Structure 1
Amino acid sequence: MEKIRKKKRNTKQKAVVYQVVLDSHDHPTAEKVYERARKELPTISLGTVYRVLKELVSEGKIREIVVNKQSHFEGRTDFHHHFICRECGKIEDVETPLCRYTCKKVEDKGYVVEDVEYKFYGLCSKCAQKLGILEERAVQV
């Protein structure tokens, strides 16, 4: 028996959630997306936001980044990396050719790369400065 594929509808809720993610540059959690979406659609539920985010990820329209078992979302779907501050939790995009070079090497062996995710962990400049770590490293050099 052939499976009946459910056509995914483009609803107002989906459009709003998608736009919230596209407009966010801080890699928000589902709860943050929900808070922001409610400004446009006060009746939207958290469950709807979770469902729509999952749908958008499966359609390849947004990307999910899991950090410490917590999902974050972003509108960028191109190959890039992330830096995660272990102190404040800030997630920043990192541009580097490392990913493309590594993919090419893997694909040269006949593999098909569908997705890559590098995460760098450490301290952002604000937290490093607050903790006095930048000054310590400058003295050591």
Structure 2
Amino acid sequence: MKKDLPSATSDQDLAHKLASSGMRMTAQREHVYHTLLQQTDHPTADEVYLRAKSAMPELSMATVYNTLDALVKCGLIKQVNVERTASRYCSNMNEHCHFFCEECGSIHDVDFKKDKGELPLKLPRNLVPTQVDISLRGRCADPLKCPNRNRN
């Protein structure tokens, strides 16, 4: 599933965000990042490795893990964890939540807009959230047609 890249970061922005986190831009980091931008299926590190390695055969699994960690720390991607499954990675940095299909294991982005910057939650006065992670669980409407049915 290819995706539009409205929030894609340019190579210059990528280099700047890495540098502001004390890291330098490398061909491997750039390649792994662009590999993540190509699809919206929330791949695991293993899946990122297989995709990225096809165009950069010298890439190691350790480099992919380290790069994913660096991209998360820089705020360029999100790490998505669903209970006991492998971590997945999301390059959509727009405000959204995730829907996890309990049948096939797929993760889908769901638009989530805060009304005037406010959460639709009632928090005690002394709590100020710095990050919001909302995930929904359920099943694809038609599991037989789900493209990820055999993923789990």
Q: Shorter-chain TM-score category?
A: 0.7 to 0.9
1:11 is the counterpart of 2:26: yes
The answer for the alignment partner of 1:102 in structure 2 is 119
Please point out which of 63, 71, 74 is paired with 1:59: 74
- The unaligned stretches of length 5 or more in structure 1 are 1-5, 131-141
Residue 13 and residue 111 in structure 1: after superposition, are their counterparts in 2 closer, same or farther (change >3 A)? same
Q: Are 2:41 and 1:26 equivalent residues in the alignment?
A: yes
Tell me if structure 2 keeps the 8 A contact 1:79–1:116.
Answer: no
Q: Show the counterpart of 1:49.
A: 64
**Count of residue pairs brought into register by the alignment:** 124
Identical aligned pairs, as a percentage?
34
Name the CA distance, whole Å, in 1 between partners of 2:76 and 2:94.
Answer: 10
Deviation, structure 1 residue 10: 0.5
Aligned residues of 1:103 and 1:113 also touching (Cα < 8 A): no
Greater helix share, 1 or 2? 1
C-alpha distance after superposition, 1:94-118 (max 9, x if no partner): 1133685426854x93543221111
| Partner of residue 102, structure 2 | 86
Deviation at 1:72, TM superposition (A): 0.4
Q: Are residue 75 (structure 1) and residue 91 (structure 2) matched? A: yes
Gaps (5+ residues) in structure 2? 1-20, 147-152
Task: Using structure 1 for the length normalisation, give the TM-score.
Answer: 0.77
- 1:128 and 1:109 mapped to 2: Cα distance? 46
Aligned-residue CA RMSD (Å)? 2.5
**CA distance in 2: counterparts of 1:47 and 1:103, whole angstroms:** 40
> Which structure would you say has the larger Rg?
1
Pair 125,98 (structure 1): closer, same or farther in 2 beyond 3 Å = farther
